[in-house]
Structure 1
Amino acid sequence: MGFTLKRVCTICARGGSKGVPGKNVRMVAGLPLIAHSVLRALETGLFDALAVSSDDPTILEAAAQAGATILVQRPDNMATDRAPKIPAIRHCVAEAEAQARVAFDQIVDLDATSPLRTTGDIIAVVDMLAEPDTSNVITGAPARRSPYFNLVEVTAEGRPALSKTLDVNVVRRQDAPECFDMNASIYAWHRADLFKMDSVFGPHTRLFEMPEERSVDVDSPLDFEIVAMLMAAQQKE
């Protein structure tokens, strides 16, 4: 008899957004923003539980209506705009395990403000996590600016300079090392690695590449308009 992995999807969404108040339950394409992430996770068929963590009961109610199976009350000290995300994910996992009475082997976290991922993206990240010598997986899109070519910093002397340099000058963007923008869409860990890593970066971290059109992170009213437009385009494909 084979061993079956237990897998949980977590979505951590706090209520105190400053840029767009109430953004996690704001309607986009006919659904609250958080519902899109819940539904994509459910569509994969990969998860034994789907846990949503929030300090806001309105968010938890919207998640439950979309199909979340476990609701977690997020502590106030983990719900400030300065609170790091990994402790909140760990808290969500621990509470989900207590409610489900099971220890999960893998955790996949979806950011509620990055709703354009597809079920295929989530499945591909889980497949990558299963590859040898992999502790966790993050997602990113090809960067618009390169630190080796056209991304600059201002020095202590007030002079602009390239953020990173190589032994030879880079005269074409195509000649620079490949760089990515983290899109905060999908994170995946083996449980042991989640509870021992204090950063998403480690010696065995992998990156799954997503296209720019599925990598918009909602942080402004304009982002909602862009997401609605791109969702409409996805539905036509």
Structure 2
Amino acid sequence: MKYLTIIPARGGSKGVPYKNIKMINGKPLICWSIEQSLACELIDRTVVSTDSEEIAAIVEKSGAEIPFLRPAYLAEDETPTEPVLIHVLDELYKKEHYRPDAVILLQPTSPVRRKNRLYEAIKLFEDQNADSLVSVCENHHFFWKNHQAPLPLYNYKARPRRQEIKEEERWYRENGSIYITKLSTLTSGQNRLGGKIAMFVMDEDESYEIDSAIDFKMAEILLKEHEHDYR
């Protein structure tokens, strides 16, 4: 199959200004995802979608492609990711008649991925003959909802111990790191997930999504302490 990686990186950011190009462990944040994609032999192309000339200049030096800038109406705070993916696909087809078999969505805010994770995710996707794939990490937390009328989402009278939870009863958290979607599934459903969904389990330390300054600091600590695992 022919895989196209798309990395969305708009210029605006409320939590951490210009976080996509903020330096983290010696390089701009977005470059971690770019380098991981370029290092995977199964990926055909790596394209970054951005509305920012500044981000585009950094990306061009990293080896990824910036075939066009994203229009402003697709770079607003409320813009979903899927229309951005479709825009890239439509433009590549218009300009080059290029069509991948599947799209890999890598969010630059998830830089902590171990070596070969993309290769492993693609192999799982193919082995399960899936239509889409979502990366997750096992969840060991006990959740509640509605703080005004507290409602537990587990049986607190028989609090489970981690080692006693059966495999089929374990919870997993979508970690935002890797998504793979067949082109037909993405275009027909306008959603990164659909059809037969494969679940790719990653470690908890790979599952930091950078939305705040604290998240940024935690991710940088991991990248520094285990740098050889993530390059």
Aligned match of 1:228: 220
Runs of 4+ residues over 6 Å off in structure 1: none
Equivalent AA in structure 1 for residue 159 of structure 2: V
2:186 to 181, 185, 194: 194
Moved more, 198-207 or 219-228: 198-207
1:103-127 Cα shifts (integer Å, max 9, x gaps): 1111111101100113411111111
Secondary structure of 1:213's counterpart equals helix
Deviation at 1:169, TM superposition (A): 6.5
1:179 to 164, 171, 186: 171
- Cα distance between partner residues in 1 of 2:161 and 2:96: 50
Deviation at 1:133, TM superposition (A): 4.2
Deviation at 1:30, TM superposition (A): 1.1
What is the count of residue pairs matched by the alignment?
225
Deviation at 1:227, TM superposition (A): 1.5
Counterparts in 2 of 1:119 and 1:227: CA distance versus 1, 3 Å: same
How many percent of aligned residue pairs carry the same amino acid? 27
TM (norm. structure 1) is 0.86
> Is the aligned partner of 1:162 residue 2:152?
yes
Equivalent AA in structure 1 for residue 203 of structure 2: P
Counterparts in 2 of 1:28 and 1:45: CA distance versus 1, 3 Å: same
| Alignment gaps of 5+ in structure 2 | none
- Cα distance between partner residues in 2 of 1:206 and 1:226: 28
1:78 to 74, 80, 92: 74
Q: Comparing both structures, which one devotes a greater share of its residues to helix?
A: 2
Where does 1:22-171 land on structure 2 (aligned, <5 Å)?
A: 22-145=18-141, 150-154=142-146, 158-163=148-153, 170-171=158-159
2:206 to 197, 206, 214: 214
TM (norm. structure 2) is 0.88
Counterparts in 2 of 1:172 and 1:87: CA distance versus 1, 3 Å: same
1:34-73 Cα shifts (integer Å, max 9, x gaps): 1111011001122222111011111111111111124331
- Cα distance between partner residues in 2 of 1:74 and 1:189: 21
CA RMSD between the two structures: 2.1
- Cα distance between partner residues in 2 of 1:41 and 1:131: 20
- Cα distance between partner residues in 2 of 1:96 and 1:170: 55
2:12 to 7, 11, 16: 16
| Alignment gaps of 5+ in structure 1 | none
Deviation at 1:84, TM superposition (A): 1.1
